[in-house]
Amino acid sequence: MPPVPPPDDVLDRLHVVALPMRVRFRGITVREVALIDGPAGWGEFGAFGEYGAPEAAHWLASALESAYREPPETSRDRIAINATVPAVAAAQVPEVLARFPGATTAKVKVAEPGQALAEDIARVEAVRDLVPTVRVDANGGWTVEEAVHAAQALGELEYLEQPCKTVEELAELRRRIDTPIAADESIRKADDPFTVARLHAADIAVLKVAPLGGISALLSIAEKIGMPVVVSSAIDSAVGIAAGLRAAAALPQLEHACGLGTGSLFVDDVVAPVQPQDGYLPVQPATPDPARLATLAAAPHRRQWWIDRIRACYPLLPR
């Protein structure tokens, strides 16, 4: 990371937007992010509201890297993406999948609080009727016993993403089932992201640019973790998605479709929508449209909230 820019320079370049979502996802229907129009490009700071400053500072570091540092060289110009299916009713699945033309892999949210496994099964079966490869994401919502039962009930899956909360639970589950396990929170929220590898707790690493502190941090972890990588979004705007695509394009190997098609979950975004072609998105910069920035601008008190948050995170940035 180059020297951290002065906070006043960052705040002078700041745009805060509120993006309406088509369906509730991760408990929200509007996604707020702060965008930085930097000398090297646009950066996105979108740490979720419940995250404290120590965790949010990683997201800010990522935004500053994208805004102030030239991106890495890439080895591919397009990235295969998976469709993302929120915890909707099975009847809504065709409508959701229609937003991901050409996708041959779908990630399905399961273990949603307040929902039963039967609803997960119905949703997965509805997806499987339309897409050949299905993976599910439980966001740590199951115990080991629940995950064992769910793995049997859900049928053939590409992998289970973060079925249980702890690395130790993932390791136990991996010994008990044949379905591959992918780790997400156990990497990006861990003090040591390599514990997953040391405990043989996962088969696949799901890495997200912003929570890990930027593209360079993601590439460093991918190089050292010793397992296939899936690059995914954190419900990013088009700016964050562009960073994810750039990171995926810079990986030496990429065996799985990436979770970078979540832009279709928004009603509107800061750039004109880019439709997947044959299940792929192009690797290209995202330059927000000034008219869209104005239309989607967050209320003044929300802008101030993000300014205050950036100031709180600044002392915690890596120097």
* Residues acting as catalytic residues: 109, 208
**CA 309 to chain CA centroid, nearest Å:** 21
Kindly provide the residue ranges of all beta strands, DSSP E only, lying in the chain, ordered along the sequence.
14-25, 28-38, 41-45, 78-80, 83-85, 105-109, 133-137, 160-161, 181-183, 204-208, 229-232, 280-282
Annotated binding-site residue? 9: no
Dmax (CA) of the chain: 54
Separation between Cα atoms, residue 103 and residue 257, nearest integer Å: 9
Annotated binding-site residue? 191: no
Annotated binding-site residue? 161: yes
- Sheet arrangement for strand 181-183: 83-85, 105-109, 133-137, 160-161, 181-183, 204-208, 229-232
Q: Kindly report the number of other CB atoms within 10 A of residue 221's CB atom.
A: 19
Residue 97 amino acid letter? L
Which residue ranges make up the annotated binding site?
137, 161, 184
Which residues are annotated binding-site positions for Mg(2+)?
137, 161, 184
